[in-house]
Amino acid sequence: MGAKRLEGKTALVTGGSRGIGRAVAERLARDGAVVALTYARDETAALDTVECIRRDGGRAFALHAQLGSHGDAAALWSAFDARVPHDTTGPVVDIIVNNAGIGHGADLASLTEEGFDEVFAVNVRAPFFIVQEGLKRLRDAGRIINISSGAARLAMPEIIAYGATKGALDNFTLNLAKELGARGITANSVAPGIIDTDVNAGWLRGNPEAEAHAASLAALGRVGRPEDVADVVAFLASDDARWVTGKVIDATGGSGL
């Protein structure tokens, strides 16, 4: 068997203990990367993810990182530095996946200032400063992959602030691509549609009507799985995607066409 395509690379995946982040962590590790996955609350789930990766022959470790308050990115990176390989210049990372995010189910009339601040702090401010703080560790030809949402390009007034955060994230992606291109670093967003993860479990799982409706929104006729997104992230992380930057890659199964 030849070398794995991410052999020798180190990846950071925020919110890697469950859902899409877990699938991304597992896939990048399978491709040969050493994966640092962060979790906010559920240490057991994070350690279980690490254990699964190790059983599969991969390398990973878990870092606690609560995002959404000032200093969050600096704390994340100092925990990272204590655990990862260093080269002559210090700790290094090759792939940053900003996956951690929260939904916020409020419309224009009911959104509070606190709710607005919270969703922007986790979904926009944290990725911004994770990248800013991470830049000195990010090697040339590195990858920044932001997990956006189909909600950034569709009007969904019932989650108005959430959609705005993902729109902001996509604009951040665009600017990163321009700013960092000279170093061979690419920056892209991946925009999932409805994916069967815990965040949707309450309304989706065990509810055939809701599932059928969600499936009907995608041209491909089913609800997305975390692996559907992880495989796109793996492509963007690989050398095959070296000429793709500043883009939002749709992974909605053709929703809203």
CA distance 72 to 130: 8
> Which residue type occupies 150?
G
Q: How many CB atoms lie within 10 A of CB 168?
A: 18
- Strand extents, DSSP E, the chain: 10-13, 34-39, 59-64, 86-87, 90-91, 93-98, 138-147, 186-192, 248-251
Q: Least distance to ligand NAD from the beta carbon of 1, Å?
A: 31
Q: Which residues bind ligand NAD (CB under 6 A)?
A: 15, 17-21, 39-40, 65-68, 99-102, 122, 147, 149, 192, 194-195, 197-200
Least distance (Å) from ligand NAD to the CB of residue 66? 5
162 an active-site residue? yes
User: Between residues 198 and 239, which has the closer beta carbon with respect to ligand NAD?
Assistant: 198
Nearest CA among 56, 55, 57, 66 for reference residue 17: 66
Q: Which is nearer to ligand NAD, 4 or 40 (CB)?
A: 40
Contact 171, 215 (CB under 8 A): no
Closest distance to ligand NAD from the beta carbon of 113 (Å) = 18
Cα 189 to chain centroid distance, Å, stands at 9
User: Token pair for residue 214?
Assistant: 């969600």
Residue 40, by phi and psi: left (phi above 0), alpha (psi -120 to 50) or beta? Answer: alpha
CB nearer ligand NAD, residue 15 or residue 134: 15
What's the closest the beta carbon of residue 218 comes to ligand NAD, in angstroms? Answer: 11
Q: Which of 162, 180, 214, 224 is catalytic?
A: 162
Beta carbon nearer to ligand NAD, 10 or 14: 14
Could you give the residue numbers annotated as active site? 162
